[in-house]
Copies of this chain bind each other. A is one copy, B any other.
Amino acid sequence: MKPIAATNDFVVKFANVNGSGSASANGMFAKVVLRMGVPVGARNIFPSNIQGLPTWYEVRVSEAGWLGRRGGVDLMVAMNPQTWDADLKEIMPGGYLLYDSSKPLPASKFRDDITIIGAPLTELIAAEFSVPRERQLFKNICYVGVLAHLLGLESDTVKQLLTEEFKGKDKLIQPNFKAFELGRAYAEANIAPIGLRVQRSDKVGDRIFAEGNDAAALGAVYGGATFCAWYPITPSTSLAESFQKYCTMLRKDADGKNRFAIVQAEDEIASIGMVIGAGWAGSRAFTCTSGPGISLMNEFVGFSYYAEIPAVIFDVQRGGPSTGMPTRTQQSDLLLAAYASHGDTKHPMLFPGNPTEAFEFGAQAFDLADFFQTTVFVMLELDIGMQEWLTEPFKWDEKRRLNRGKVLTYEHLEQGVPFGRYRDVDGDAVPYRTYPGTHPTKGSYFTRGSSHDKDARYSEKGEDYTEGMQRLLRKWDTMKSHVPAPIIKKAKKRTPDGVIYMGSTDPAMEEALCALESHGIHLDALRVRAFPFSNEVFDFIRDHEQVFVVEQNRDGQLKSLLVNEGGVHPARLVSVLHYDGTPITARFIIKDITEKLQAGQAAALPEKAK
């Protein structure tokens, strides 16, 4: 088997034990490649546990800029005896294995179609460090040293990064240098060069390496959010933590007082309740959670819909149903969020496709919520939220103002502007509201989830009820042109086939489209970025004979929404579904779409359901 030879285009995977401190060394590896100008797609795969279970870090080095997961491993850094066998299996024929050769292993533990690279990491480190925790930690940076030599990483760049990383804890810098050098020097002296190389390039540009949760939290800060009520849950916890971090950095006044508030609530019901209370009183407020939290928030979301109160919920989706796979990624809360709560309800959702959009939508969600006075879901995913993505830098227009929607002030009321809480004054079905305490005699009203008339008075009259419910439908229509529009990429050639997708599928889809094209398969592509869908989405469907809908769930939830809201014939939408909890890959998409096209399956309408 010929060893794989590739420059700036391969996959390295690190197999470690949770809690062993490998994350920072592995992240360092990815960042070195980035600093060398070569794009990287990196993903942590971790267990729902604190210490002792297997964890992996997968780095795709791709000069071409493909940032989705590729599938297959070219170089495995196998540091976890527990998963050794499975890890070895994943290496592509001709690939490489780097392992800790301090303890001899029987030949039967290896494969003969790959290149085996041993480095006595434990020994090297033991010789220089004595504290057990240090030994554990520095072993990680030591294998980065080995890799630096093997792959041609620039030592200076590594050292520069280490220096930045440990700024403030300066006494850690030298030992890290030493551990790195131990590995690098050992490799230089003992290991023959391999076929994989990283070569300096210029494909990174001004892009940043950012996590979606962190970005969304920063977006919330720029979007004027003053209050976060939350309850910890993987994979959304880091969003609240980042909000805390950025607020502490950017929202303290001169006396050290906070222009923000963060409350860790007792549960998700209390979180959304607080958000609704604050939204009602005129503060921009949000909560962040994952599937189980959304299930619990159902009642309040319906309240927000019917009583028309702004709220923002970041749903960082994980593998469902139930507790499911808390540390795996999915796009499977769509149906629940779209129609959350009993009775007839509909809720807007935004689907950021990368951390940059997480930032943008993280801000825009608050304008939408305030303007439409309803709950806006920002549908993040673990794959975006908790992974660092190479993404466009965050941008903000300094002239941009917060759009607080239709709020009557003391002055308006004094001037005699009439106020009826649920009246459609402007013909867009969006009513006016007042904040509590606005005016001594005008503008007060009573908010309730029970049926009410245009002036917010309790009413059991059928006409009052239907009038309100119909206005809410008209408001929904207004929304369609206010939410982020889809992004359409035309194929190079005219084609009857299209593909619709959303969120974290973006990089894999970009790669797949390119590959399919090279096989002569042309697809126009539309990335949905919001619900309700704008007309462009349905125009796109109308303009194609068949449209693949690629999503990361079992039941084709996006397809369901398209059919339900657009009156589309389901047979024209062909589902491509990936839902085992790992991020979708270009390979999967290419294979599935190619097979479906070949089988002509999509074209033949199922007999039963014409």
Residues of A within 8 A of B (CB): 47-48, 290-292, 294-296, 298-299, 302-303, 305-307, 319-328, 330, 332-333, 335-336, 339-346, 448-451, 460, 462-463, 465-466, 469-470, 473, 535, 538-539, 541-542, 553-555, 557, 560, 563-564, 566-571, 579-582, 606, 608-610
Contact of B295 with A579 in the complex, beta carbons under 8 Å: no
From A302, A322, A332, residue with most partner B Cβ within 10 Å: A322
**Interface contact B336-A321, CB-CB below 8 Å:** no
Once A325-B460, A336-B339, A344-B555 are accepted as A-B contacts, the answer to whether A567 and B571 lie under 8 Å apart by CB is: yes
What separation, in Å, do the CA atoms of A431 and B245 have in the docked complex?
A: 48
Chain B nearest CB, measured from A294 CB (Å):
5
In the complex, what residues of B have CB within 8 A of residue A462's CB? 328, 580-582
Q: How far is the CB of A295 from chain B (nearest CB, A)?
A: 4
Name the CB-closest residue of B to A289: B342
**Inter-subunit contact B323/A342 (CB<8 Å):** no
Contact A320 B332 (CB under 8 A): no
A547 to B460, CA, bound (A): 32
* Closest residue on chain B to residue A303 by CB atoms: B322
A608 and B538 form a contact (CB under 8 A): yes
Contact assessment for B610 and A580 in the assembled complex, using a CB-CB cutoff below 8 Å: no
Q: Would A460 and B328 be within 8 Å (CB), given that A320-B302, A570-B568, A579-B466 are in contact?
A: yes
Please tell me if the beta carbons of B341 and A322 are within 8 angstroms of each other in the complex: yes
Contacting pair A343 B324 (CB below 8 A): yes
Bound CA–CA A591/B448 (angstroms): 34
Assess whether B448 is in contact with A538, with CB atoms less than 8 Å apart.
no
What distance in Å separates the Cβ of A288 from its nearest Cβ neighbour in chain B?
15
Return chain B residues, CB-CB under 8 Å to A294: 342
A557 partner residues in chain B, CB cutoff 8 A:
344
Q: Report the minimal beta-carbon distance from A155 to chain B, rounded to whole angstroms.
A: 37
Known pairs A48-B460, A563-B563, A570-B563; A341 contacts B328 (CB<8 A): no
Roughly how many angstroms separate A555 CA and B346 CA in the complex, as a whole number?
Answer: 9
- Note all chain B residues with C-beta closer than 8 A to A295: 298-299, 302, 340-342
Q: Contacts A451-B319, A564-B564, A579-B466 hold; do A341 and B336 have CB atoms under 8 A apart?
A: yes
**CA of A48 to CA of B452, assembled, Å:** 13
A171 to B450, CA, bound (A): 42
- Determine if A609 and B568 form an interchain contact, defined as CB atoms under 8 angstroms apart: yes
Q: Are B344 and A320 within 8 A (Cβ)?
A: yes
Most buried by B among A463, A542, A554, A566: A554
A317 and chain B: residue at smallest CB distance: B342
Beyond A343-B319, A465-B319, A560-B564, whether A569 also contacts B538 by CB under 8 A is no
CA distance A325 to B554 in the complex (A): 35
Q: Given A302-B295, A344-B320, do A47 and B460 touch, yes or no (CB 8 Å)?
A: yes
* CB-based contact B571/A569 at 8 Å: yes
Least Cβ–Cβ distance between A214 and chain B, in angstroms: 23
